[in-house]
Amino acid sequence: MKELLKRLNARPGPAWQVAVASLVINVLSLASPVFVITILNTYIAGGTNRTLITLCAGMALALVLLACFRSVRVRLGDLVFSMPDQDLTERVVGKLKRLQAHVLDGAAKGLAVRAMDRVHTVASAFAPSQIMRLMDAPFALVFLGVAAYFSIPLALIGLVGVLLAHGASRWALARTVRLGGAVRDSGARQRLLMADALSDPDTLFAFGGDMVVEQLARDKAVEAAQDRDRVALSRGLHQTVSMVSVMVVSVALYAVGAVFVVQGRLSVGALIGVNILVSMACRSATGVAGSWAALKEADQAMADLDSMLRLPEEPDAGAAMGKYSGSLACRDLAFVYPGATRPVFESLNLSLGPGQVVVVHGPNGSGKTTLARLIMGLLLPSRGEILIDGLNQRQANPRWWRGQAADLPQEPSIFPGTLRENIVCLNPDLDEPSLGQVINDSGLARFVFAQPRGLAAELPDAGQGLPKEVRQSLALARVLATVSPLAVLDEPCQGRDPQAMDLAHGAMKTMHGQGRSQVIFTHEPQAILDLLPVSLVMELGAAAIPELRTPAKAEREKDQGREI
């Protein structure tokens, strides 16, 4: 209800027009019972054809006006209740685009993932058809009041019936909503199970895991089928309860009303008219239950969206240098993950000049990827600072900084779009000859030529169906396509075959020849030392405070280790 009142207050003028249109529509709805009563009491009792023609013309006019006002009300309702959904969608999409990357590492990721589903829930609740049922509900009392004009006892029977129909409908609907949630959860678990199982089909089949997954899938399918059956039965129960409630009230009305007719206290036309009025009131009462439940879900969805919209986001403003040289410095840098008792590293100091190469090595879990994400501005340091040509990274515009540092993550990600869009995302003005060279240098040419649409080929599902080597080549092409002065490469050679490794080495040589600074994270530093003129070597994981060494010193320590 909070969101409903908010939308009404946001556009008071059209909201009042919707209310007036609802009043007119429900008043015009009285034409049907009035027509029936008049036909039975006046025309059949001895009226003329002129009376019948007049009544039919009046009814036809009422129907035309009813259709016109309903059409106008839907348009006004769309303006008052549906237009805000577009603003909400833009706000949510804009927020998702500006969220700080580290926020998505925690529980807040669930809020972000479910955000668009919540928007859909809100939009469904505020569809004009839902809201119009809610606005028509108070007129159930008007219908009962008109019925009371003809017979107060029958109107009281109708009131009891309306309350029973509304209560039964709410009970049945609540049960259906609860079971529907179970079906959605069951379906989500089933999809997650299959996604996890098919993420590595080689291991699955090599170790006979397909039999286990098959049994689990069957069990989940049985559970889902049972849940769907319960939902179908519950929906049928809801419809049955609504129908039976109206029928019971109708039987009670005719039973008592027949007595009144025999006693001469009520006419046959009035009895049928009262039954029509009470049926209209019951329909309003049962219809509002669904709209009310949808509004409650919308309030919960809006609460989730408000929580998501309060998550920290990257600033739109910040310093942006005219030209970045590629130099980078870390001063007393430390990072601790939330909830951890020990820092990943602390007192880390590093200095990288324009065009220089720094190698950072260490075992798995030593913090290589963490440091790479810190340099890219995807994580915020727990202590210390990162300087970009002397500018504190926190003061730089994040979007500008991402354009200055090309990132090659250890696990490359592909976003939905075409091959071209994935390659030139940071350099959309790249000319065709340069793009062709990038495709060749990254080893992507064979894959591109195999696509019927070439670079215009769509990559659905964020490239999950692509072979790992293609995703690696695509990520490497993305780095080569940029003109950024700095490249941050996280395990650029890991998991590559010899040919792909040669391409990665060639890419690093190319970037060095272009004068681009490189921070290369690897667990095999010697291969990089043999390939490029490395300025500094840093080891992570050996001690809490990382140690910097020159390549010559690193080589001497390696020789001493061999002698020992």
Each residue's pLDDT tens digit, 29-75 = 888 888 888 888 888 877 678 888 888 999 999 999 999 998 988 88
CA-based diameter of the chain, in Å? 124
Q: What share of the chain is helix, strand, coil (3-state, %, to 5)?
A: 65, 10, 25
Q: 189 vs 59, which has greater pLDDT?
A: 59
Each residue's pLDDT tens digit, 344-364 = 888 899 999 999 999 999 888
DSSP conformation class of 350: E
Return the exposure string of 212-238: e unless at least 16 CB atoms fall within 10 Å of the residue's CB, then b: ebeeeeeebeeebeebbebbeebbebb
- Measured over the CA atoms of residue 428, residue 433, residue 435 and residue 437, the dihedral's sign is negative
Alpha carbon distance 276, 462 (integer Å): 57
Count how many residues are written for the chain. 564
Each residue's pLDDT tens digit, 438-483 = 999 888 888 888 888 888 888 876 677 788 888 888 888 989 998 8
Q: Starting from the edge strand earliest in sequence, which strands make up the sheet with 328-335, in order?
A: 345-352, 328-335, 383-388, 391-392
Give pLDDT, residue 1: 66
Instruction: Give 548's strand partners.
Output: 538
Give pLDDT, residue 200: 56
Give pLDDT, residue 114: 74
Each residue's pLDDT tens digit, 5-34 = 787 787 888 888 888 998 999 899 888 888
303, 130 Cβ separation under 8 angstroms: no
Alpha carbon distance 253, 255 (integer Å): 5
501, 473 Cβ separation under 8 angstroms: no
Residue 135's nearest CA partner among 271, 280, 25 is: 25
Give pLDDT, residue 214: 65
Structure tokens at 371: 């440091």
Residue 177's nearest CA partner among 113, 125, 119 is: 125
- How big is the CA angle at 72 (ends 67 and 76), to the nearest 5 degrees? 150
**DSSP letters for 220-264:** HHHHHHHHHHHHHHHHHHHHHHHHHHHHHHHHHHHHHHHHHHHHT
Q: Count Cα neighbours of 287 within 13 Å in the Cβ-side half-sphere.
A: 18
Each residue's pLDDT tens digit, 274-316 = 888 988 888 887 777 777 777 887 888 888 888 888 887 777 7
- Beta strand spans in 295-419 (E): 328-335, 345-352, 357-361, 383-388, 391-392, 405-408
This prediction has a pTM of: 0.66
Alpha carbon distance 167, 158 (integer Å): 14
Q: Please give the torsion angle defined by the CA atoms of residues 550, 553, 558 and 563, in that order, rounded to the nearest 10 degrees.
A: 180
CB atoms within 10 A of CB 69: 19
Each residue's pLDDT tens digit, 239-266 = 777 777 778 888 888 899 899 989 888 8
- Helix/strand number for the chain, H first, E second: 22, 10
Alpha carbon distance 276, 155 (integer Å): 12
Q: Please give the torsion angle defined by the CA atoms of residues 167, 173, 179 and 183, in that order, rounded to the nearest 10 degrees.
A: -170
Give pLDDT, residue 197: 58
Alpha carbon distance 170, 287 (integer Å): 10
Give pLDDT, residue 331: 93
Expressed in angstroms, the distance from the first to the final Cα of the chain is 75
H or E, element range at 170? helix 152-198
Q: Which residues make Cβ contacts (< 8 Å) with residue 295, sequence separation at least 6?
A: 1, 3, 4, 125, 130, 134
